[in-house]
Amino acid sequence: MKKGSFINSRNSPHKSSIKREIFQSSTLLALIVMTIFGFLLSALLYHSETSKARALINRTNHGVALFIDGYFTEIINTIAVLGENKEIRGAMVLGDDARQRILDGYRSITKANNNITYIYSGYENGLMLINDWTPPAGFNPASRPWYRAAMAAKSGTSIGLPYREIKTKEWLVSTSKALKQPGGGYGGAVTVDCSIDQVIHFIAQHDDYKTEISFVIDRFGKIIIHPDQSVLGKSIPEIKDIHQQESGCDLTYHNGNVEYFAHFDRITSTDWTVVTAVDKKEILRPIIVEVLSLVGLTGVIAVVLGLAQSILLSRRLSRPMVELGKKIKAAIAGDEQVGDEYIYPNNEIGIMAREIGQLAAKELTAKTHELEASEEIYKTILMASPDDITIADLSGNIIMVSEAANRIFGYDPDEVPGMSVMDFIAPEDHERARANIVKMIHENYPGPNEYRAVRKDRSCFDIEVNNSLIRDRQGNPVQMVLIVRDITNRKKAEQQIQTLVRQLETERDLAQRNSLTDSLTGLSNRGFFDTFLQAEFSRHTRSGTQLSLIMIDVDHFKNYNDHYGHLAGDNCLRQIASTLKAMVERGTDIVARYGGEEFVVILPDTDCQGAAALAGRIAESVLELALPHATSDTSEFVTVSLGVTSATDHVLTDGSQLVALADQAMYQAKNNGRNRYVVLTASKQGTSITARP
């Protein structure tokens, strides 16, 4: 683009016609009617198809839930019968013959039920009853997960996570039950390992949709049965907490970039949840195709109707209206009629044409005088404005400027005409200024725009420019008006304010971070912990929600610091803090540094059993860090002792009491040998302590 050139003055908007306008109006009206009709049909189609899809998903989900419920009910009933067998319960004191009868019974049940792979029982004295396998020396069944799970469930039945058998590669799940001893108490556990390959095969079938998938999650939101083995043990954030919702509900969730329609049902026998989901795109794709077809058909019908209507109306209205336009144009221009005068029909249009012809001559003279008077008024306003007002043609050549040009730019008003507006703008802003002027001409963009400007003495300063167009009678732009204001002082003030605001924001953010965060570990600090605990305890008091607390202390940490040095001690605390952050996954939970080598975890909506399970995992994870501790009497690696407690039965009246119970439980764990956790609960019946290694 050449300097000072913004628009070709010969270009003008396309000339319209009455026929075209009638056609456009008729087509638009028909299109609006057909669009409304098409929208209603599309909405009805969408509702119908999505309802049908959800019904199919619900049917599949209910079938999978019934299948799994029936499958595991049989296993649960089997293990319930085994748990009541007197010989199995008293196997620790029975002879070899009785134990052989137990093994024969296990073998018979396994042969009779193809879904059962193994049956075995273990006892607290180290006895293990299982067919076709000899436990190695020193094997202790009481340390196995299935045994611990059965003891945790006591009189209930424990169903574990699926695992893959090493030899056969078959997917199995352990169902165990604690064995009540004749003299009272529990001293053993009987377990049934059943195959779930049939379950996996069943849920992997696709009856209605290619992307349809069913899977099972446990009460903690972890996926435990899924056709894709790589996702086992993982969770989907948006459906992680559906166990807390009522069974048999529809939902929509995202997994990665894919959105799913889904339905879930609870399995009463296992307390698992079955989720059946279908990619939303697969459901919506046929609906979109039908809607687009409907929209296309609507457009064709609208164009046909508009064309038919425009032809009909043009024949009746076009010619009289065209002649009326010629008459008005000639009257305004002062031209005389050439040739025979068109005879208008004796209707409203003809009467209008005759009256306009008489008024045109009168009004033309009056308007001329009025415009001349207006010119003088505008010129007076132009010269009195404190801002420079410049009038230029569309090529950027200046026609006139106001008196303010001398004060702002240093030019006398008589010097400026003939110069280009670009002569007053710094070269680095020329391209942007041209683009804004083109935008003003084509899009009626008024600004404001800010530029670096150049005075007559070549000094630079900041200006603000507002734009406007002067148009002819046909509405075509012929000139532009630029209102220029010196904003140098304002820009300096804005920069000072922005610098001050940035400084204040930085100081505010730093103060907030320091007030809530522990500087060594990056965890929440003691102050934030106290505030959060007070809020959660108040919520517990009001609504009776579960609230648990875990107090954690690093074993023999003073010895660690004395032996390895404080820098190593700080690094040890940071690694333990990172482990805690990784273990406490829920966004509602809080991990904080309580002081020194002590940490604390607040677990809203969590019962004592869930908190104890998390405490066990934390202790194992810290030990797995394998941080050497040469001066520890407990382990060769760094370990922690944990105290677990929960607020129940509204016995506690303040959050500090909950902290005191957790602290008491933690010291009990230290007294019991460290590297363990102790659960201490207070209820209306009194205080009870449960220790876990």
Tell me whether residue 597 is one of the annotated catalytic residues.
Answer: yes
* 3-state DSSP of 73-109: HHHHHHHHHHHHCHHHHCHHHCCHHHHHHHHHHHHHH
Provide, rounded to the nearest whole percent, the portion of the chain with pLDDT above 70: 82
pLDDT-derived band at 581 (thresholds 50, 70, 90) equals: very high
pLDDT of residue 220: 80
pLDDT tens-digit readout, 465-506:
888 888 888 888 888 888 888 888 888 887 887 877 777 666
pLDDT-derived band at 685 (thresholds 50, 70, 90) equals: very low
Helix (H, G, I), strand (E, B) or coil at 463: strand
CATH number, domain 16-212+279-330, options 3.40.50.10190, 3.30.450.20, 3.40.50.1000, 1.10.275.10:
3.30.450.20
User: How far apart are the two ends of the chain, measured CA to CA in Å?
Assistant: 82
In this chain, the answer to whether the domains covering 16-212+279-330 and 385-492 adopt an identical fold is yes
Q: Are 548 and 537 in contact (CB under 8 A)?
A: no
pLDDT tens-digit readout, 496-532:
878 777 776 665 555 555 568 898 999 999 999 999 9
The type of residue at 529 is: F
CATH code for 385-492? 3.30.450.20
Q: Are 628 and 662 in contact (CB under 8 A)?
A: no
Mean pLDDT along residues 577-600? 92
CATH code for 517-692? 3.30.70.270
* More confident of the two residues 580 and 169: 580
For residue 457, give both structure tokens.
């003495």
CA 444-445-448 angle, 5° bins: 145
Q: Which residue among the candidates 21, 74, 597, 620 is catalytic per the annotation?
A: 597
Residue 130 forms beta bridges with which residues? 120
**DSSP code of residue 506:** H
pLDDT tens-digit readout, 10-63:
444 455 566 677 667 767 777 787 778 777 877 887 888 788 888 888 888 888
d(CA 568, CA 561): 7
pLDDT-derived band at 622 (thresholds 50, 70, 90) equals: very high
pLDDT at 158 over 60: yes
Q: What residue segments make up the domains of the chain, in order of their start?
A: 16-212+279-330, 343-371, 385-492, 517-692
Q: Are 160 and 152 in contact (CB under 8 A)?
A: no
pLDDT of residue 2: 43
